[in-house]
A and B are shown apart, each in its own frame.
Chain A
């Protein structure tokens, strides 16, 4: 700060307003724009009407900069700014932020270290199943209009509409991650996150309490993946593990935070010519001591030829009775089928269309819905 401050003062003496970055890393701009028209037809509770047609949009502006020193060390920084009017309500971390990721990194022949607000190793190395449209049915979808809470009363409260299967329990909380270079197809990574709650991240806040019942801390992540070729088939297989400790267990056995939280994933993806197929499994005990697990299976196939892509995916999710989604009632079963086609009409530009069907049920209620989404993604 003082450097910036002095820059302004120094400008007086030389009568020139030279920017402060003269000796630092040059920053560049990037990002993406995703815009969709979406039609939805789904079950609704009595006296509730869900909008049939709507527009959905997701925009990020990225600030990137890196340089390579004489000793071969690459130093860089990356910041992602959410640039939509709607707030990015990150309900799991209880924070609305205009900033999504903000971190620095060092890399070289020895691998890469990330420090800051970025996903951990478990997500970065996770193997996703092929999708119809990554924005709709990918590992961490950006576009959705299903209101799952309206599909099945009592289940899927606000914030759980998007059926992600990303292993990102530590969110973007400040963490330190090391990822090895690729050795004969193998790559591994580890992450450490002291404070999982975003509210603890302010740069100058005092030391935060670490004995709050039901709050997680000291998250450790480890992941590995292998990519190889067997005859005409190329494949990637990977797995990841995350452990979050409770600062102090919450009372009871059915609430989040009554136990340490453990997640793991395994995934396999194979390609044969233009065809791809894969499967991914994610298990999350949600930090609930009894009957609180969430299990998600995803399988997908795709076919890519030139600028065209066709894909189909199936997601199967089971939330036990005490999982946050199930509301302490009964096991919730969720299925989603998605089929779609994509066309790249220019560099970093794709036109996508997909149809999805989702159904949710427990022993007392059930519902289903359809979604047709047509849109474009422009990377810049």
Chain B
């Protein structure tokens, strides 16, 4: 399938004949963690204090280089855990060369691809898009809206089919643009009929832009970046001012990392109006610090601070803080042991709670 997909696309875009072979490959990762959690519970409820968490993806790729030098790569990323209720995470094709890179299909947009990730203790626990968590935020008073997983990745158009262009690196600068016609419908079947575009509570026509800069001299290194996303409300008039889709959605992020030798610190700021006309903004600030103690051992800590305005949560203005500290040890090629402690506090107008989480696990890369 990849072979056919990549070749068809290549034929469509390249005037020169194609006789290069498509190289198929597989990759991915498997994460396995033991979790111990102690947190505030609503009266009469009890939460499991010890549990296992696991996350697995398998990535299938097909790639070739055309005679004109353009590299074509098709990728499908599959969910392969039993709890997943669907099979595909992402599927897209990439054309790259001296002109930069073009992505077409289900993938992150430019702001997520170029976003600066703050240093962390364990990327799976406190990274830009954590995959492992056992905190139940709603039990701590966060209401039903706040997610348990505290991602700060700017993925306004999620993984909806989109077209993205990213420039090559020019004097340390790199920029990108994305366009996604659909957002709320996310991923449609290839033969689905045209969908309505005036639905209340939905946004469409997402346009995203991002810029990133990297500089390095002697022992110093600087990374800075910013991104903005805009998606239009399909029908504002049909939504109450505190509802999603009552206004266009505007999201932006900015972040930076300063590194000196094996020590690095950084900060990231994200703001999302959640497509609400009223007080529905989410503001997230993340601070992080990491140190490579040796080639194999890295320790780090991060502080995540999140504000959700009253119209967003339904339980009044809510503040959430999370401190995570820990480290990882590489015990083999593509294999690491990880251990972190995380402390979370949730404070809303109506309730407050806190929790602690110990996570010990391993990360295998394929």
**Chain A residues near B (Cβ < 8 Å):** 1-5, 8-9, 11-13, 15-17, 19-21, 23-27, 29, 63, 65, 67, 69, 73, 75, 77, 79, 81, 95, 97-100, 102-104, 115-117, 172, 174-176, 194-195, 198-211, 217
Contacts and interface: CB of A to CB of B under 8 A. Distances in A.
Contacts of A202: 81, 83-84
Given A1-B123, A11-B101, 10 more contacts: A19-B59, A21-B28, A27-B27, A77-B364, A99-B82, A117-B82, A174-B51, A194-B51, A202-B84, A206-B138
Nearest to A117: B82
Contacts of B148: 204-206
B130 A209 contact: no
B177 interface: no
Nearest to B100: A12
A25 B45 CA distance: 42
A207 to B, nearest CB: 4
A79 to B, nearest CB: 5
Contact of A203 (B31, B46, B169): B31
8 contacts: A1-B123, A1-B129, A12-B100, A21-B26, A65-B366, A73-B332, A104-B30, A203-B81
Contacts of A65: 366
B59 A2 contact: no
Contacts of A3: 29, 123, 365
A16 to B, nearest CB: 7
Contacts of A15: 71, 96-98, 168
B80 A16 contact: no
Given A17-B96, A27-B58, A102-B56, A63 B81 contact: no
A72 B295 CA distance: 21
Contacts of A4: 27, 29, 57, 59, 77
A2 B366 contact: no
B73 A17 contact: yes
A199 B30 CA distance: 19
A20 B27 CA distance: 6
A109 to B, nearest CB: 17
Contacts of B34: 176
Contact of B83 (A67, A198, A217): A198
A95 B168 contact: no
Given A27-B366, A79-B58, A207-B37, A194 B136 contact: no
Residue from A1, A16, A24 with most neighbouring chain B CB atoms (10 Å): A1
Given A11-B101, A23-B333, A23-B365, A17 B63 contact: yes
A190 to B, nearest CB: 15
A229 to B, nearest CB: 38
B149 interface: yes
Contacts, number: 238
Interface stretch (B9-17, B109-117, B201-209, B252-260): B109-117
B141 to A, nearest CB: 13
A12 B133 contact: no
A20 B101 contact: no
A204 B132 contact: yes
A207 B101 contact: no
A103 B362 CA distance: 12
Contact of B48 (A16, A20, A99, A210): A210
A5 B27 contact: no
Contact of A27 (B28, B48, B333): B28
A209 B46 CA distance: 5
B366 A77 contact: yes
Contact of A208 (B48, B79, B131, B333): B48
A172 B83 CA distance: 11
Nearest to A9: B113
Residue from B79, B131, B365 with most neighbouring chain A CB atoms (10 Å): B365
Contacts of A99: 79-82, 84
B63 A207 contact: no
A68 to B, nearest CB: 9
Nearest to B166: A12
Given A203-B131, A209-B48, A69 B365 contact: no
A198 to B, nearest CB: 5
Given A95-B82, A207-B139, A211-B45, A19 B55 contact: no
Contacts of A27: 26-28, 58, 366
A99 B364 CA distance: 19
Nearest to A95: B82
A320 B100 CA distance: 69
Contacts of B315: none
Interface in B319-366: 331-335, 362, 364-366
Interface in B23-65: 25-32, 34, 37, 39, 45-59, 61, 63
A102 B51 contact: no
Contacts of B28: 21, 27
A209 B47 contact: yes
Given A116-B32, A201-B54, A203-B54, A8 B94 contact: yes
